[in-house]
Amino acid sequence: LALEYFDRDLAEETAKMLGLSWPVAEGNTYLMIILAEPSEEALYAELEKIAEVCSAAGAMEPFIAETRREQEAILKIRSSLYEYLKPNVVDILDVTVPPASIGELMEEIAKLEEKYGVRIPTYGHAGDGNLHPHILRYEGWTDEMYDKLRNEIYEAALRLGGTITGEHGIGALRRKTLKKYYDAKRIEIMKAIKKIFDPNNILNPDKVIP
């Protein structure tokens, strides 16, 4: 089972880049659910359960990609979202919140889009609460403005009980935010874990956690 989140605009724009058509007629945001079952009977039984849960949560009629062609097209579009955005990307964030708080995080990102008059395309892995807001090149923006927006997204995730990175890790790009958002105890734990796996400090010595 995989759960992927993205919105209509991004799906349609990516599909157009690929010379494809986005096949879903309704809805503005999507939860793509990928299933693998041992038999067709088991698959449709699972689909029925999922459809009931989604309907109870207010979702529209589900679109079921039944043909191989539909499945391949949708998967191709989803896997190409970053390719479409890449030419204009300044930073890809990796914020993660409890899965039940994804809706609230998206509301916070929408508020920031309105506040700054910019678009922040976001997609990610709804099953574990991991989202990737993409900060794009905005006309007239300075490094300080990008830092401010980046930090506001981090802080929104933290308010919801999340973290500034889920699967990508801190990395060199986010090193300067480490001490701002992680207390000394957490950083010491990170150092201790690194020492266990790299006792001689030969892997990227002093690069991320000095």
pLDDT tens figures, 151-182:
999 999 999 999 998 887 777 777 778 778 88
d(CA 176, CA 161): 21
Q: Is 94 contained in some domain?
A: yes
The number of residues in the chain equals 210
- Do 34 and 106 lie in one domain? The reply is no
Q: Reduce the secondary structure of 102-146 to three states and give it as a string.
A: HHHHHHHHHHHHHHHCCCCCEEEEHHHCEEEEEEECCCCCCHHHH
- Do 67 and 132 lie in one domain? The reply is no
d(CA 165, CA 149): 16
Q: Is 51 contained in some domain?
A: yes
Q: For the full predicted model, state whether its pTM sits above 0.95.
A: no
120 Rama class: left (phi>0) / alpha (psi -120 to 50) / beta: beta
User: What CATH number does residue 103 fall under?
Assistant: 3.30.70.2740
Q: Is 180 contained in some domain?
A: no
pLDDT tens for each residue of 55-92: 999 999 889 998 999 999 999 999 999 999 999 999 99
Structural domains of the chain, count = 2
Q: What angle do CA 140, 141, 144 make, to 5 degrees?
A: 150
Q: Which domain holds residue 50?
A: 2-79
Q: Which of 169, 184, 203 is the last residue of a domain?
A: 169
